[in-house]
Amino acid sequence: MTNQLMTQTRASTAGWVLAILFVVANSAWADETCNSPYTSRLIKGQEDYVHVWTLGVEGWGDGSDKLVTIDASPKSKTYGKVVHTVSVGTRGEAHHMGFTDDRRYLWAGGLDSSLVYVFDVGTDPAKPKLVRTIKDLSAKTGYMGPHTFYALPGRMLLGTLSNTRDNGGVTGMALYNNKGTFVAKYDIPTSVGGMQGDGYGYDIAINPRKNVLLTSSFTGRANYMRDLGSLVKDAEAMKKFGNTMVVWDAKALKPLQILSVPGAPLEIRWSLKSGDNWAITASALTSKLWLIRPDPAGKWEAKEVGTIDDPAKMPLPVDISITADGRGLWVNTFMDGTTRYFDLSNPEKPKEVYTKNTGRQVNMISQSWDGKRVYITSSLLEKWDKAGEDNEQFLRAFTWDGKELTPAFEVDFGKEKLGRAHHMKFTAKGSLRASPGAPAEVTALLSRQ
C-alpha cells in the first residue's frame, strides 16, 4: 500500500470512528447530562448514590477533604443518609471531579494542592476507595489548580486554572492515561490566527460529531484563593479574569479559534438533542448566557443571548445543567441562593420560566437523565463562601415535575461535620439500568489514531 493510500485510509478510518463513536456515545452523556460523551454506563433510571467531593473545614471531623457518599434510592432504608466517607488526609480546596471512560473510577482535584485523587467507585459504589494519588501535575506541566476532569478513551484530560510561575490565570490542559501516567500538555493559546486571547482555562466540553472541543476561562490561584470581599474591591485583580473561549480540533487537541466572551465564561454545555450543533455557557461576572455555534459560513461564533440577572447585584452564576433534550437549562446563582430554569426551545432567545430560592448560597446543580430529580450543593470556594448564618453547607435533593421543585431530602454538611459540599456525581448498583458506552474495539481504535 502506498504512503498516500495509507494516509487516506487512516483518515477515512478516523472519520468513521468519530462518527460511530458519536452515535454510540450520544446515549452516554451524563450529569447525568453533563459528563464527557465518552463516559459509559449512562444511568437512565434512578441513581442509587450521590458522591459529593467536599472541602475540609478545620475542627469539623478530621478537617480533611473527603468524598461523601449519600444513599439516593427512595426504596432504601438509608435513603437520604450518608453511608460512607473517604478522607484524603489533607485539605487542598476540593473542587471538581470526573469519571473515567469506563465509569469505574472518579478523578477528583484540589485547586490549592494541585493533587489529583482517584477513587474506585465501580467495585462497590456504596463504599468508594481511594486507590491512587497523582502528585506530578505541576512538575510535569507547570500548571496548577486541576479543575475539569474530562474522559477520553483510555485517558483523562485535565483542565487547569493557574500556573506555577506567577499564580496567574495563564494555564493549559494536561493529558493522563487511565493508570495515572502523564502523557502530554497543551497550553491555552494567547493568540490564534491574529485573534488575541488571555490563555486562561476553566471548563472542557467536546462535541464528537463535529470534532470540536471548547474551553472556557476563569482566573488564577492568586484570585481564587483570595477572600472574595477584598478581591472585588481590588480593581487590578478584577481585571485578571478570563474573557475568552477557545475552539479546538478535539482529536488533534489543536486550537483553531479564540472567541470573545467577556466576564469569565464558566461551565460549557452542548445540546444533546440529535441534529443540534450548539453549546451554551454563562459568564460569572456579567451574568449573561452565551450561545456558541457556527455562523452560516461555518465559522464558530459566540453570541450573547440572555441576561440571568442584574450584574450590578452580582448574582454570580456559577453552575448550569442542560436537559437531555437540549430544551431546558438550570442555572444556579451563588450570591442570591437562587435556582433558575430557562426554556431553550429557541436557544437564540432563552426564556426564564421558573425561579426558586434554594439556599442562602448555592453552587453546583446536577440533574438525573430523565430530568425528574435535581441536586444542589452549597460551597463555591473556601474563601468565597459566605460567613455566619449564611454559610449553609448542604446537599439538597428535589423532585421536578416540570412546574415545581419539591424537596426530597437534605444532608446538612455542617451539622454532620463533613465539610463544604461542592461537586456531585451519581452511581448505580450493577448494570441493569446502565447503557454501555462505545464498544471496546471502537475506543481502542480511536485511541491509536
Cell of residue 215, nine digits: 474551553
pLDDT in tens, 77-136: 999 999 999 999 999 999 999 999 999 999 999 999 999 999 999 999 999 999 999 999
Q: Are 364 and 319 in contact (CB under 8 A)?
A: yes
What is the DSSP-derived secondary structure letter of residue 45? S
Low-confidence residues in the chain, pLDDT < 50: 1-30, 431-449
Instruction: Give the pLDDT score at 31.
Output: 53
Cα gap 106→132, rounded to integer Å? 11
Would you tell me how many other CB atoms lie within 10 Å of the CB of residue 191?
11
Task: Spell out where 217-367 has E strands.
Answer: 244-249, 254-260, 265-270, 279-283, 288-294, 300-307, 317-322, 328-333, 338-343, 351-357, 365-367
What is the DSSP-derived secondary structure letter of residue 419? -
Cα gap 202→204, rounded to integer Å? 7
Identity of the residue numbered 439: P
Instruction: Give the pLDDT score at 430.
Output: 76
Phi (first) and psi of residue 405, to 5 degrees: -85, 120
Angle at 379 between CA 241 and CA 61, to 5 degrees: 130
Instruction: Give the pLDDT score at 12.
Output: 36
Question: Domains in the chain, ordered, with CATH?
Answer: 3-448 (2.130.10.10)
Cα gap 241→198, rounded to integer Å? 9
Q: Residues near 71 by Cβ (< 8 Å), separated by ≥ 6? A: 48, 49, 78, 79, 80, 81, 83, 126
What is the DSSP-derived secondary structure letter of residue 390? G
Instruction: Give the pLDDT score at 32.
Output: 86
Torsion from C-alpha of 297, 203, 172, 177, nearest 10 degrees: -110
Q: Are 172 and 185 in contact (CB under 8 A)?
A: yes
Cα gap 15→440, rounded to integer Å? 17
Task: Specify the pairing of strand 351-357 against strand 338-343.
Answer: antiparallel
Bridge partners for 425 per DSSP = 51
Instruction: Give the pLDDT score at 436.
Output: 39
CA atoms within 13 A of residue 26's CA, in its CB half-sphere:
17
Concatenate the DSSP letters of all residues of 90-149 into one string: S-S-EEEEEE-TTSSEEEEEETTT--EEEEE-SS-TTS-EEEEEE--HHHHHSEEEEEEE
Task: Specify the pairing of strand 317-322 against strand 328-333.
Answer: antiparallel
* Rg of the Cα atoms in the chain: 20
Task: Spell out where 2-122 has E strands.
Answer: 42-43, 49-55, 66-71, 82-87, 94-99, 105-110, 116-120
Task: Note the Cα 362 to chain centre separation in Å.
Answer: 16
Q: pTM to 2 decimals?
A: 0.90
Cα gap 42→396, rounded to integer Å? 22
pLDDT in tens, 404-420: 999 999 999 999 999 99
